[in-house]
Chains A and B, each alone.
Chain A
Amino acid sequence: MARISTVICTSHSPFLFASVERWEQTFTLRSGKGAFAAGVEMETRPEMDAKHARVSAAAAVLRDHLRAINPDVLVIFGDDQQEQFHVQNFPALSIFTGEEFSGFKVNPKDGPPVAGDWPLRPRTPEHWATVPGSPKLAKSLLTGLTQRGFDMAFSAKLNDPERGMGHAFMRPHTLLETNYTIPTVPIWINCYLGPQPTAARCYDLGRAVRDLVLEYPEDLSVAIIGSGGLWHTPGAARSYIDEDFDAKMLAGVRAGAARDMAVYFDSRRPKWDPSDERSVREASGGTGIVTGLGSGTGETRNWIAAVAAVEGRPGTVIDYIPINASPIGTAFAYFSL
């Protein structure tokens, strides 16, 4: 029977892969557009160097942990930011059941991680990688989840092969230096486009994935990854880091208290009146990216689903590094099982 050999929760911000010069450049470009709340100051260069080193150290711990586990399969909970899906048909929950997927290792564009006319990277081995899927496990999860009342969409192949698989699934491979060889089942959770699934629903999804993995008849070591977060509203007006929110989530990780994470997350859900277009826009962007839980912070859903799969087991938070220059609360955690 298959087993869950670890759960890893990790931010996947482009800042994790960028130099401090890019961090500075990003802050400057964004602050010129009023993207920071009053009082959010860019770190000094020495502070930035120290945070950059902490990111590298945390990533190294995760790498070593995954290497020691040496899983057969990764199941990644992640989101899509109009990489595979567009507003013609944007799934709430979906799963990739194909033989393999390809995408940019970090970013499609070569520049600071802000919107701009940066040169497109070539799809060469330096920037582009192919990851094996795990179709048999994926189809089993698709069927099992649907039979448990999840209205799953699926992709048997990439919807937009030119753009490639989204960052939420490619960057964990890059960060963890898997050499892109570990067969991977991507599970998409809509974290951006309103209305997004409740955290309670994501918790239920994680519990169901846990049950289905444990029932899966093959002898497989499965590592589950929650990809994204924590608090960040990149590019939105008056951005800041809500460290209280992040602390609540990390307390949940340490305690394995996925349900508490979901309850707290949903208590912070912005309210909107669907008949009031402005309130919808403020809460979720209408068509996308806005502040609060409708934006990057919404990726915390991926953590909640992942932690739900090991609910009750204590997690280890490697580090929590708020980076004002983005701004983003980056965090790295794992569960030894």
Chain B
Amino acid sequence: MPIVFGMASSHTPSLFAQTYDGWQRLWGRFRGTTPQPPEIDNEGPAAVADFVARTAAAFATLKRELAAAKPDVVIVLAGDQNEWFDDANLPNLMIYAGDDDIVGFHNFGADDHDPPLAPWDHPERFGVRLRVDRALGDTLLDGLVREGFDVAISRHVPVHAAPRRKVPHALVRPLPLVLPTLDVPIVPVMMKTVERSPAILSGDRCLELGRALEAICRDLPQRIALYGSGGMSHDPSGPLAGWVDEPLDRWFIEQLASGTPGELGALFSFRSLATESGSGELRTWLPVAAALDAARPGIKAALVDYFVARKSTVGNGWVTWPLLVPALSLSS
């Protein structure tokens, strides 16, 4: 059973706050000293309440569709922001294929609290435990390295560059909202996404990675789903904080919805403030798109939702692809 389903979404911190005050706190943290765009005045309590409702609905859609795919395992494409890695040993690609669960913290509601709660101080409320499919991780490592992908190997959960945060937020924040249950194991495929440097994966390389993943998974017995975590355009705390690149996001979604992910290979082939920092997390969507396209050429993604929330400093998007292989239903 090959890859049966794919999806991708933003994981912006504000998406995990439920209140206007929470959104205001996060806006204050991430806008930095950057002058804000005039549209910010439109994001009052009513607009934020709408963002909160749309976020809940969008994550619920992902969760429902993923559950319908009945995955045995979810390969998660995700970036790191000094959580596992620092510049003493910073990979472009890394796969954790170990026996231990990944244990960290989500932040649901943490910023709604006054003052905000530090999740690591309240493990009973914010703790997340993710199971890992080591065997599939080994298979991916073996196949990718054989095919000339220079993937760093992890068999123990990394010693933390950020000891309190413990685990990349790209994993522990969105996954509890999209996994059918936390018993479904994952394989984390870590990609360098946000470094302001030219020594980082090109769009084409990310697409190649997706095609290679699809080829490796094609003959495996499990039902495998893919999830890309991060994006869309954003530059929190950077020179473009609050200035969302909506044309970029809309073009990106258009390629997915048109079944033309190959067009996205041009991304990250040159340097730009618009594609560095958080926008670089769009890399995590590319292997999903390429793998789905390899499994069924021309397959078109469905846009679940997209909204620009300048107070979150992010263009927030959710997409899913049609189920490739329906799960057998006991009732049929």
Per-residue interface assignment for chain B, residues 124 to 154, with 1 indicating a CB less than 8 Å from any chain A CB and 0 otherwise: 0000000000010011011001101111111
- Check if B93 sits within 8 Å of A151, measured CB to CB: yes
Q: Provide the residues of chain B in CB contact with A155, threshold 8 Å.
A: 87-90
Q: How far is the CB of B97 from chain A (nearest CB, A)?
A: 9
Asked if residues B205 and A153 are in contact (CB atoms below 8 Å), the reply is no
Place the interface of chain A in its size category.
35 or more
Chain B residue with the shortest CB-CB distance to A158 = B88
By a CB distance below 8 angstroms, the chain B residues around A56 are: none
User: What is the size, in residues, of chain B's interface with A at 8 Å between Cβ atoms?
Assistant: 37
B153 and A193: CB pair below 8 A? yes
Closest B residue to A269 using CB positions: B146
Q: What is the interface of chain A, defined by CB distance below 8 A to chain B?
A: 84-94, 139, 142-143, 145-147, 149-159, 190, 193, 195-198, 200-201, 204, 272, 274-275, 280, 287
Instruction: Give the one of B94, B142, B152, B155 with max A CB within 10 A.
Output: B152
The 10 closest A-B CB pairs, nearest first, are A92-B150, A151-B150, A88-B158, A156-B87, A159-B88, A151-B92, A153-B91, A195-B145, A146-B199, A87-B155
Residue positions of B touching A, CB distance < 8 A:
84-85, 87-94, 135, 138-139, 141-142, 145-146, 148-159, 197-202, 205, 208
Q: A157 vs B146: C-alpha distance in the bound complex, in angstroms?
A: 29
Q: How many Å from the CB of A117 to the closest CB on chain B?
A: 24
Q: Are A197 and B150 in contact (CB under 8 A)?
A: yes
| Bound CA–CA A198/B88 (angstroms) | 25
Assuming the A-B contacts A88-B157, A274-B138, A274-B142, are A157 and B92 also in contact, with contact meaning beta carbons closer than 8 angstroms in the complex? no
Complex formed: what's the CA distance from A147 to B270 in Å?
10
Residues in chain B near residue A93, CB distance under 8 A: 150
A152 and B199 in contact (CB under 8 A), knowing A195-B146, A204-B148? Answer: yes
Counting chain B CB atoms within 10 Å of each CB, the highest count among A142, A155, A156, A274 belongs to A274
Docked CA distance A115–B139 (Å) = 32
Contacts of B205 in A (CB 8 A): 149, 151
Give Cα A275–Cα B150 distance, bound, in whole angstroms: 21
Taking a contact as CB atoms under 8 Å apart, the answer to whether A275 and B89 are in contact is no
Q: Are B158 and A152 in contact (CB under 8 A)?
A: no
Bound together, the chains give a CA A176 to CA B198 distance in angstroms of 35
Find out whether the CB atom of A147 lies under 8 angstroms from the CB atom of B92: no
With the chains together, A84 CA to B142 CA distance in Å?
23
- Chain A nearest CB from B286 CB (Å) reads 14
B90, B94, B153, B155: which contacts A154 (Cβ < 8 A)?
A: B90
Q: A94-B89, A146-B200, A156-B88 are in contact. Are A87 and B153 (CB under 8 A)?
A: yes
Could you tell me the distance between the alpha carbons of A151 and B201 in the complex, rounded to whole angstroms? 7
Known: A152-B199, A275-B139. A89 touches B91 (CB 8 A): yes
List, in ascending order, chain A residues with CB within 8 A of B150's CB: 91-93, 150-153, 197, 201
When distances are taken between beta carbons in the complex, the residues of chain A under 8 Å from B151 are: 92, 151
